[in-house]
Amino acid sequence: MLQAVVTPTSLGDLRKALKLAPKATLVAGGTLVMPIINEGAHGISTLVSLSKLGIDAVSFKKGIATIGAAAPIAELARHSELKFLSAVIDSIGSPTLRNMATVGGNLFAYGDLAVCLVALDATAIVVNAKSKRSAPVEEIIKKGVKAGELVTHVSFAIPKPGTFKYAKASRRALNSASIVTVAAIIPLVKGMVADCRIALGGVAAKPVRAKSVEKLLNAKLFDEKTVRAAAAAAAKEIAPFTDAYASAWYRARVTPVHICRALLGDAAGKS
């Protein structure tokens, strides 16, 4: 039964709140937590709101974007430096949900933005009661954070124009979970792929790197033949599952198709 809601206004206050209630549930936009609260059957006794911590800003310095974990996803669309994420933002929920849902919430829900952060090689700032540390977002997705830790910011280098690729397959336009999400950074040097990063969502319990695909693309000519051959290797990275949106078989079948679609465009992605 919910008994208390605490709203700290500084990281010091947050540390005190977590020390007094180490099992407290953190809440920012509330799109994940409040439906659980409203259902009534839960074991949450204390909520700690992150809304007044001042970790909702978006800033840019020397080509690096730093985004507060409590920033609403809709806020990202207001910055021209993040225009490359427009298709990503539009694919997440509905406009109303994006006004509430936060970057940190999407990260820990393993959502589409989390997939992009892995592809972007993003780094997170993690704080606890006594200190702070930085860690790759990819590592946080794999291992989580320790009890009492909080991600306050994520940062990444803004990719060069044309190098960020994205595609999402879902059953409907709004409020639909991913069947397959593909996010990639594909730098080219004289037409050759140079140190690419590809992340996949919807095809395993958490976002995953498509390292086998990357290996087959790096140092190769970026053309349809190379991409199609590399995309087939994604089967080594995924652990597809069956849910209300798609079967495991279907997810496995269409993953290479959507990798091609993300990297080459809709026409090339068709099988």
Q: How far apart are CA 132 and CA 195, in angstroms?
A: 30
Prediction pTM value:
0.92
H or E stretch including 26? strand 25-27
pLDDT tens for each residue of 208-240: 999 999 999 999 999 999 999 999 999 999 999
CA distance linking residue 197 with residue 118, whole number of Å: 8
Report the Cα 10 to chain-centroid distance in Å. Answer: 26
Residue 124 pLDDT exceeds 90:
yes
pLDDT above 90: percentage of residues in the chain: 72
pLDDT at position 63 is: 97
Amino acid at 152: T
In CATH, the number for domain 164-269 is 3.30.390.50
At 172, the pLDDT band (50, 70, 90 cuts) reads confident
Name the nearest CA neighbour of 68 among 118, 29, 109: 29
Q: Give yes or no for residue 115 having a pLDDT over 60.
A: yes
Domain extents for the chain? Answer: 4-49, 58-157, 164-269
58-157 CATH? 3.30.465.10
pLDDT at 149: 85
Residue 147 — pLDDT band, cuts 50, 70, 90? confident
Mean pLDDT of the 169-176 span = 80
pLDDT tens string 10-41: 888 888 888 888 788 888 888 888 888 888 77
Kindly give the pairing relationship between strand 46-49 and strand 58-61: unpaired
